[in-house]
Structure formats: C-alpha cells, structure tokens
Structure 1
Amino acid sequence: MIKIAIDAMGGDYAPKEQVLGAMLAVKQINDIELTLYGNETEIKKYLTDNTRINIEHCENVIPMDEKNPIAAIRKNKDASMVRALQSVSDEINEAIVSSGATQALIAGAHIIVRRMEGFKRTAIAPVIPTVDHRKAILLDTGANLQIRPEHMLQQAYFATIYANKILDINNPRVGLINIGTEKSKGRDLDKEVYQLFSETNLFEFAGNIEPKTILEPDCDILISDGFTANIVMKTIEGTAKSMGKLLKENLMSSFFGKLAGLLAKKNLREFKKQLSAEEIGGAVIYGLKKPVIKAQGASKAYGFYNAIRQAANIVRKEVFKIVEDYIKEESGETFGQETE
C-alpha cells in the first residue's frame, strides 16, 4: 500500500472537501492508504466511510493568511500540516497532500522533509493546460525569486523526469520563458541559462518561449525564476477567469445569445473543465526527499482527489528516487559544487 498523509485542516473549505476527496480517492485507487491529520471531531462530521482511512487528531491549524510561516511551523508542532509533514520525514507516510497556506507548506517542507542531497534549490511546479489538450509544466512559480542558472538546470532535469513518468511525455522539451525567441534576448540570467541549457545533454532544449505562446508552447516544460513564472501563472489564471465572465456576459446580453449559450452548454462546460485547476490536482515541490503536493487552497473534493492521485503516481513511479540517484551518481559534477 502507498501511504499518504493528508493535511485535513488546510484549505478554504477544510475539512469537508479534504475528507470527501479522500473518500473518493480510496474508492478510485486500490493501492493507497490515507491518514487524515486534523481535528477528529470535525473530520468525523464528513467521514462516512473509513475504508483505508485513518485519523490522527491534531489540536492546531496553521491559518491560510499566516504572516510568518517559518515561525508558525517551528512553534505549532501539533498543527495538522506540521504533523503530516513530520510523518513523511519519519517515513510513516510516503507523501503528503495539503491545501494549506503555500508559504507555510514550502517552509515546512524545507524544515521537516528537507531537500534531497545535492539539490540546491527546490521549486514549486504546477501543471497548466495547453490549447492542444496537452499538459505543460510551469516552474518555478514562487519558491525562488532569485536563482542561479545551475539551479535551474537541476529543476529542469527534475521536470523532464516528472513529465516522462507522470505525464507520459516521451523526450520532454524544455523552454525558457523570455521576452523574445532570439538567444540574445533577456536579462543576464536568461542569457546564461540559454547558454547552459544549449550545452546540456540532460534534456532537449527548445530555446526561448515568448509569454504570448504560453498556452500553446513548442515545448513541454516552461521555466524561469520564481518571480517571472509566478506572474505568468497568475496572468493565466486571471485571464481565464475574466474571459469566462466576458463570454457569459455577451451570451446573456440578448435572446439569441442566450439561445446560443444553451445550445453550446456542453462545449462551454468542456471549455471550463479544460482550464480548471481541479483537473490537474496540485503543484509538486521539486527537490525534496519525499513528495509534497500543494493542492489549490480553494480545492473541492474532486480537485483534492486528483492531488491524491497525483501523489500516488509519483510514489508508484519513483520519480523522486530517480532524480536523487542521478544527482548522487553525478556527485555534483554536472550541476556544480558551488556553496549555498
């Protein structure tokens, strides 16, 4: 059995949606066992089937608007997120899924689960939809506002393993987000990364990718520093939401528009589904010793189930072990031995 820790109290709709998502997961996935960390009384309000589901009572919760995540992780040893992370560090569970505060989860992952040996900078990497119904990895979306080219090389390598093993993409291609396709474009960082990626044999480099092609990129992995990629991610989310509102307003503005909307109801539902984060599951934090999955804070049961499914696939296909073994084998020669 694949054992997964669930932070049942983290998220906008916790613990209801987390519990419902967990029950859906064990019904759909035969080889998992889940442990829900949180307030037992609250959890039991929604837990109608405890098949392969355990509860570990926790007194505290790290709030979604926590201003000092590092202090919160160190101080609240009995918080649901902290206990769930600790269970992974102690090898009681093999992965954790949480909808809790992003920065607290990243801080906790570093403090408790810790980075795999030789991995210099972790990265948070969601999967985004594309126009041609593929999926693309976007990294780093906020873990590192400043970063070195050799750190990005490690992250890109991790992403290619993930894309191959989890997204079933043969020979994943890596693209560098930039203001133009020419190799001379961008900041000094972008030019250095371009040169490094052009010379590596770890993956196929697709060159610079302009933001206007983010949803139809000529690659499978899109990479930049945490500041840039975070802006890209939030722009995609905001644009998709606004376009949906504009479309609805236009369709509802006239009788014929309403009729067209009624006739296209199925197509509109599929359009919404294609852009929904619920379909993806969560963002993986690359470079840790064990899988930590950050589900959307607003995840409902289906989205949380997909995050659990994602965690189980990562464990089942040994993604983290493959990367860790390679980095150990290289002994830092490929990725550099620079100090922190």
Structure 2
Amino acid sequence: MRIAIDTMGGDQAPQVVIQGVEQARDQFQDLEFLLFGDEKQIKKYLQNSERVTIVPTQSVILGTDEPLKAIRHKKDSSMVMAAQAVKAGQADALFSLGNSGALLAAGIFIIGRLKNIMRPALMPTLPAMNSKQGFSFLDAGANAEVKINYLKQWAVMGFFYAREVKEIAHPRVGLLNNGTEYDKGDSLHKEAYQALSKLPDINFIGNVEATNLLEGVADVVITDGFTGNATLKAIEGTAKTIMSQLKKALLNNGLRPKVGALLAKPALASIKTTFDVAAYGGAVLMGVKAPVVKAHGAADARTVYYALVQLRMMYNKGMLQQVIEYFDQQPKK
C-alpha cells in the first residue's frame, strides 16, 4: 500500500508528520509513503529513506486559506499534489493535518465521490466509557444541511467501517435526536427514523440522545454536519475544561489534595486511557474513492502513526469496495 502524505499541513509540520510516518513504516513492511512538501525540511527530519519517496512541492495550503480557492489556485501545494497522486493511481490513500475544508474539497473534487454516494461526510471516532473502540460520529461538519438519503448512506458507510476496520461484529447505528422515542424531533428526523429502520442488514437501534453518547450507547452515530460539529466541539470543550479544573483543584489546594491525587493516580490513568483520542487516529472522509484521513492540526507523531494504521486497515479490509457493492445491490428507484 502506498500512502500520499501532505507533510506541510499542521502546527508542527513536517516534523511530527515524518516521525509518525517512520514509526508506521518501521512497523508495517507492506507500507510505502510518498511525502509531498518542502524537500529541504523533509530531509531535515527524515531518519532514513527506506520505502519513502520525497515529492518536492512549491506551496502550502494554510489554515486561513479559502478551501475551494486554495485547491484551484495552489495546484503546486503539498495537499493538492498528494490528492492528485491518489487520483492518478500513484498512491492508494491520502493523509493530512492541514486545512479541513481544503482537504474535504480535494477529496470530493480531485479524488472524487464513490459511486452512488451523494455527499461525503467527515467521521471522527470519539471516546466512550463502555467501549475501547469509541464510537464513529458522522457527519462532523462537512454538510450543514442534509437529506434523508444522505443520512441513510452515512449509516451504511459508518456500519461497514465499524464492522471491518474496528472489527465490531454487528455495530449498533443510532440517529442523534432530542429524545429516544421514534416520533421525536422535527419532520426530517421522524422520516429519517423510518427510513433507517428499513435499511437491510444495518443494525439500526433508533434515536440516541447527546446525553448518552460518551456512555457508548451506539457504535455509529449519524447526524447532520451542523449538529455534529456543534456536538463535537461541546464535547471537546467540556472535557478540556473539566480536566483543567480537576488539575487545579488537586494541585492548588494544599497537601491533602496532592496526596489524594497521588493515591488516585492509577484510576486517573485509566480515565486518561479511555479518553486517549490519539489512539483513534483521525477523522475519515467517508464517501470518496480512496481512504482519506484528516487529523487535528495540533496532532503529535503518535496521532499520525495511528491515523496511518487506520488507513492501512481500511485499505486491507477492502471497506470501500464493500460499500460500493452494497449500494449496487440495492433496487434502483
């Protein structure tokens, strides 16, 4: 498998990107990498060039760039050239820490949508207390407005991802709503509930509420991109605030809380492991013709490594082909 890497995206690029690539390369003998970016900077951090090819690029898509304009006018950028390599069959997958909107645009307009898929969706994996696998959450921001067919297709793709990549035998798929009853929500959600219930071979468990997401109530949760992005940021912000306040409470209130913190260290470590989002890799752009993964711009080398493991699993399991075959077998309307 050959993975095209946008080495210049991200806050600590290209250093952490290359460190993660080398870790994956050293562990998996079946991986090769095309590193797109500033050749001088790449060579500065690359320890050895085994199964690594450097492809020099002239520009970088910045986080402040307007996505569509960037991929149209920065054709010599590391992200666009990496996407072009996938389109041309020179690479099998794409990874980037760069501009989310630009990567979404590159996936759709350069690599292209999968057959029968109306709208690709962004799918991160979020932690869950009752699951080592976490839960897949889509759409997390690619599509602010949705149609019923979008939700149905995302449910199918999320199901196949959870089953093949996460190896969950019969993943539970839930629809994010403001109540668990079948008749909750607006007309779109009521109609979506009925449509999802009729999907063949998909384990749809009904509506799920945001209150229960981190309890692992479902393996796949689908929603529109506006709600999904707002929910994602609310979870991230709440977790960050709680951890910050907990640390202050334990360290800034005298000796007894510090001793308590020391005694509670093993328990706190287990919580940290559960909410270790780096181990989940990055967000998958579901619905395009090749595996594409986007990790957070502030990600470290460990996150990059796990994202590459993610891509390898998607490719080796033939997940995208299974999605194509599923939709090909559905009756045409």
TM-score normalised by structure 1 residue count: 0.94
Amino acid corresponding to residue 95 of structure 1 in structure 2: A
Summarize deviations over 1:35-77 as a string: whole Å, max 9, x none: 11000001111111222111101010000122x2101101111
Corresponding residue number in structure 2 for 1:95: 93
**1 CA distance for matches of 2:313 and 2:147?**
30
Q: Are the equivalent residues in 2 in contact too, given 1:183–1:194 (CA < 8 A)?
A: yes
Aligned residue type for 1:85: A
RMSD: 1.3
Query: How big is the shift at 1:167?
Result: 0.6
What amino acid is aligned across from residue 6 of structure 1 in structure 2?
I
1:215 alignment partner, SS class: helix
Match of 1:288 in 2: 288
CA distance in 1, matches of 2:147, 2:195: 11
2-structure distance, mates of 1:155, 1:228:
15
SS in 2 for 1:55: strand
Question: Distance in 1 between the 2:44 and 2:260 partners?
Answer: 43
- Matched position secondary structure for 1:35: strand
Which secondary structure state, in structure 2, belongs to the residue aligned with residue 56 of structure 1?
Answer: strand
**1:46 aligned onto 2:20:** no
Offset of 1:267 from its aligned partner? 3.4
The gaps in structure 2 that reach 5 residues or longer are: none
Instruction: Report what 2:177 is aligned to.
Output: 178
| Aligned-partner residue type, residue 30 of structure 2 | D
Counterpart residue number, 2:227: 228
| Structure-2 change in CA distance of 1:89 and 1:193 (3 Å) | same
Letter in 1 for 2:117: F
The one-letter amino acid of 1:216's match is: E
Contact 2:129 2:274 in 1 (8 A): no
The aligned counterpart of 1:115 is: 113
Partner of 1:106: 104
- Please give the TM-score of this superposition, normalised by the length of structure 2: 0.96
Q: What do residues 114-169 of structure 1 show as CA deviations (whole Å, max 9, x unaligned)?
A: 10121111111011111113321111001111111111111100111110001111
1:198, distance to aligned residue in structure 2 (A): 1.6
CA distance in 2, matches of 1:287, 1:246: 39
In structure 2, what is the equivalent of residue 147 of structure 1? 146
1:249 equivalent to 2:248? Answer yes
C-alpha displacement of 1:31: 1.0
Q: Determine the structure 1 residue equivalent to 2:307.
A: 307
**How far apart are residue 274 of structure 1 and its match?**
2.4
SS at match of 2:114: coil
1:184 deviates by 1.5
For 1:10 and 1:214, the matched residues in 2 are separated by 30
Deviations 1:248-276 (A, max 9, x none): 11111221111122233343334223223
Tell me whether 90-99 or 48-57 shows the greater mean CA deviation: 48-57
Which range moved further: 144-153 or 257-266?
Answer: 257-266
The structural deviation recorded for 1:220 is 1.0
Q: Distance in 2 between matches of 1:145 and 1:244?
A: 30
Q: How far, CA to CA, are the matches of 1:15 and 1:219 in structure 2?
A: 36
Q: Structure 1 unaligned runs (5+)?
A: none
Aligned partner of 2:163 in structure 1 is: 164
Contact 1:209–1:217 (CA under 8 A) maintained in structure 2: no
Residue 297 of structure 1 corresponds to which residue in structure 2? Answer: 297
Deviation at 1:231, TM superposition (A): 1.2
Tell me, yes or no, if the aligned pair for 2:182 and 2:207 is still in contact at 8 Å.
Answer: yes
Aligned to 1:172, the other structure's residue is in SS state coil
Q: Secondary structure at the match of 1:5?
A: strand
Q: Secondary structure at the match of 1:100?
A: coil
Tell me the secondary structure at the aligned position of residue 221 of structure 2: strand
Distance 2:266 2:19 in 1: 26
Alignment size in residue pairs: 331
CA deviation profile, 1:267-310 (whole Å, cap 9, x unmatched):
33342232232111101111101111011111110000111110
